Each structure stands twice: as C-alpha cells, then as structure tokens.
Structure 1
Amino acid sequence: MFPEMEALPRRLVLVLPTTGKAVRTARETTEQVVTEWGISLSHPSVGPALLIVSELVTNSVRHTATVCEALTVLYAAGRDTFAFAVHDRHPHRPPLYTAAPGSGLATVTELTLELGGTAVIRADTDGRGKTIWITLPL
C-alpha cells in the first residue's frame, strides 16, 4: 500500500490500459468517487482535481504506452483531504516544479499550489516506474 493512502479512510484503486480511453474513464471515475464519498462536485477542489487527473493520465498514456500496457489511478480521501495519484512503469520522472510555463505539468502544479495542496513524484523502489501524488484540501 502507498503511505499517502494509509492515513485516509476512503480508498479506491483503478487500473486502466494505456490508451486514449483511459483519460475519459479516469475523469468519469473521479466524478463518481467524489460524489460517492460525499464531496460536492461544486467544491472548489473538485474542478481542478478533474483537470489534474485528466492531465496526468494523458501524460502517462502519451509517454508510457510503448513501455507499459497499464497505468493505475489511486484515490483516497479523509474528512479534509482528497488525494489521488497516477502510477506507471516508465522510469522518467518529469519535473513538477520546474515544468515549462504553459505545459500540462506546470498547470497541474499551479492549480495544486493555488488550492493549498501538494504535488510529489515518488519513484518505484526498483527505479522503473513512478507515482505522481496530488493532495488537495477539502
């Protein structure tokens, strides 16, 4: 289990193929998860979360489809936190905080920080994959 999820009581793991359909499925699943967990779709963190999930899954599909067949989206929530992550088995760890202005990752970081959240990249222990974690306040 991922340490970020252990402290949060609500959890879901979604495995998707690295195809374009993964983006839509991840976004729809995110909407369903927040609704089922009692988080209003009008909460200020939800719209940005949908955009961030879409961007991270898009990047994973775009850059890893040739090296891995699946990606994983992880969701977790507590009373005042919504966390989600995208994991793939590509070793490249893109720079979140020095991403080119206007890029998708720059947008991810900007939205996360504006909401008072955190963005972290963690390498797999074998160095052959990574997880990008986003934590947003509720």
Structure 2
Amino acid sequence: MEVRGSVPPEPAPATAPAIPTQTPRPYEGAWRFTAPAVDSSVPQARHAVRDLIADRQIPADDELLHGLLLIVSELVTNAVRHAALLSPEITVELATGADWVRVAVEDNHPYRPKALQADSSDIGGRGLLLVKAITAEAGGMCDVEHTESGGKVVWAALPLPESAAP
C-alpha cells in the first residue's frame, strides 16, 4: 500500500471575490491510497492512517486517534466484506483542515449501506452504527455519497481538539 501524496485543495473559481485566508497549517491536506479488497487491507489501512497522522503531525489526541482508527477499520472491513465482488480495489483518504480531520473509503459497488440495529446474538452488522456513534460523540458528521463512477464513498469527519484551532 503506497500513499499517493497530497491532493491540493481545489482552487476558487476566478469569479469568486478574494477572501482573506489564513496560511494553511503544515498538517492540512489530503492523502489517498488504494488497497486490494481483502482482509489483510484492514490493518494495513489502519496503520497507514495512523502513520500519516503521526508523520504529518496532525494534532489528534488519543481519544480522537483511537476513534479515527476504529472508523477506518470498520469502513475498510465493510468495503472488503460487501463490495469486493464488484470492487476488487478500494481507496482510503485522510484529509485535514485547520480544525477537522476526515477519513473516507471509496469502492465501486453501488449499494448504499445503512446503519442497522443488529440482534444481540449477531456477531457482526454493527459497523456503520459504531461509526455513527463515534462520529456523533466527537461532534462530527458522517455520510455515504455516490460517486460519478457508480460506486460510493463512506466518510466521517471529526473536529480536531480545541487546542489545534486557530
């Protein structure tokens, strides 16, 4: 698994009025990598995101870091288990702004998952419910969006700790 580098933010349209902006922090940007839709990609994606957070010095405290890594694990697991047939490769993205961090997993399967209440005897089926709970507790947001290619992106954005804000 190889991180493909920083994705610069899209430039503002030429007709937009000039808005004063602050200098971006060194940790702001977006990084994407692809992985095969196989079980071994779950820990590899989690480790890659953890390493990116450390390497880019993203100001995530322990609680935020653990939440993000659990979200990555759940989203990659869902893509591997439910989308691999139509999407043999998945894309993981980590993006940060001045006061937020976002993780997303993209696959080429058109099915849009929903958080389900699993029966207490079920050993699975709570991944998206867990992602929603972690995101809500942190004061963030999550969603599922269709891609132009007919697949989907499942993402969660969480606020960075107050001490990281400008």
- TM bucket, shorter chain: 0.7 to 0.9
Residue 125 (structure 1) shift = 2.5
1:49 aligned partner:
68
Which amino acid in the other structure matches residue 133 of structure 2? E
Bigger RCO of structures 1 and 2 (CA < 8 A, at least 6 apart): 1
RMSD of equivalent CA atoms? 2.0
**TM-score (ref. length: structure 2):** 0.72
Report SS of the residue matched to 1:45.
Answer: helix
- Determine if contact 1:18/1:71 at 8 Å carries over to the other structure: yes
Number of residue pairs matched? 131
Question: Tell me, which stretches of 5 or more residues in structure 1 are unaligned?
Answer: none
| Percentage of pairs with the same residue | 34
Q: Where does structure 1 differ by over 4 angstroms across 4 or more consecutive aligned residues?
A: none
- 1:108-137 alpha-carbon deviations (Å, 9 max, x no partner): 1000010001101110124x2100111011
Bigger Rg, which one? 2
Give the deviation of 1:40 after TM superposition.
5.1
Question: Could you report, residue by residue, the CA deviation over 1:91-118 in whole angstroms, capped at 9, with x for unpaired residues?
Answer: 100124xx32571110110000100011
Equivalent residues in 2 for 1:1-138 (5 A)? 6=9, 9-39=28-58, 42-96=61-115, 99-100=116-117, 103-126=126-149, 128-138=150-160
Relative to total residues, which structure has the larger helix share, 1 or 2? 1
TM-score under structure 1 length normalisation? 0.86
Please, which runs of 5 or more residues in structure 2 have no aligned partner? Answer: 1-7, 11-23, 119-124, 161-166
